[in-house]
Amino acid sequence: MRPLPFVILIVFLSTLIGMPTHSLAYSTSSHGWGYKKSTDHQAPDAGVYGGLVERYGGFYVDPTDEKVVYLTFDNGYEKGYTGKVLDILKKKEVPATFFITGHYINSAPDLVKRMVREGHIVGNHSWSHPDFASMNETRIKDELQKVEKAVADLTEQESMMYLRPPRGTFSEKSLAVTENLGYVTMFWSLAFVDWHTDAQKGWEYAYRSVMNQIHPGAVILLHTVSQDNAEALEKMIDEMRKQGYTFKSLDDLVMKRLLPNPISEHFGL
């Protein structure tokens, strides 16, 4: 079982209890997640989208400027490369989060089991990959609960905390709905077009696409259907570490917001 670390769970619940209620006048305007890519090793600015996501408890980057990165993968279907990705993560002792769909659970259950068994987080990417911005609360809840239940039935991970909205689309209302359901929305600050399985460009392209955008606090989005990513991943990890980066779990990112400096605050420093 990969339960939510106890201290995060306690602080997260206490934060929710004391959290102010948002206005019921939510905007239903649909947005697609986006930002100007980083080219100077600085975190990209997501503009009003970034503020909106943060308002509803979400993340797209670690704002602390520490040389830490968070590795995440979106898994809608299997193409034969996730096993190699897991092998590399195990060899390099790197934690990751895999955002999976209902199709992935049904078609690759052994890989889902392995993700959990090897200590990775399995996140929610919805059951059928719809556009949350066009859906009501009941339908969104159904999409998420089906994934959470299926993973709990299949593995020892009994609950889910992290959500990546399918298609990267959202509205203020969908962010409010998923926050009220107890999810932390996790967008990204580093990605590239890697999901076209018939248009792979070689591992060097994937490597350069990531390393040219790398920055402190990056939440990296990759797709495991990409052969290029699978072949470049170990080299990416080695080069990031050479540059002084460390790899952490999304649990560590949430902990920073809830307890930004718990020792200093405790002693009044």
User: Angle CA(115)–CA(129)–CA(123) in degrees, nearest 5?
Assistant: 30
Tokens of 40: 């100077």
Locate 207 and state its tokens: 């490597």
Q: Is 74 a catalytic residue?
A: yes
Q: Which two tokens stand for residue 217?
A: 């606090």
State the catalytic residue, choosing from 74, 194, 228, 251.
Answer: 74
Q: 103 catalytic, yes or no?
A: no
Tokens linked to 226: 């990409």
Q: Which of 31, 223, 228, 251 is catalytic?
A: 223
Q: How far is CA 237 from CA 13, 23, 91, 94, 213, in A?
A: 34, 43, 11, 8, 14
- Give me the active site residues, please: 74, 223
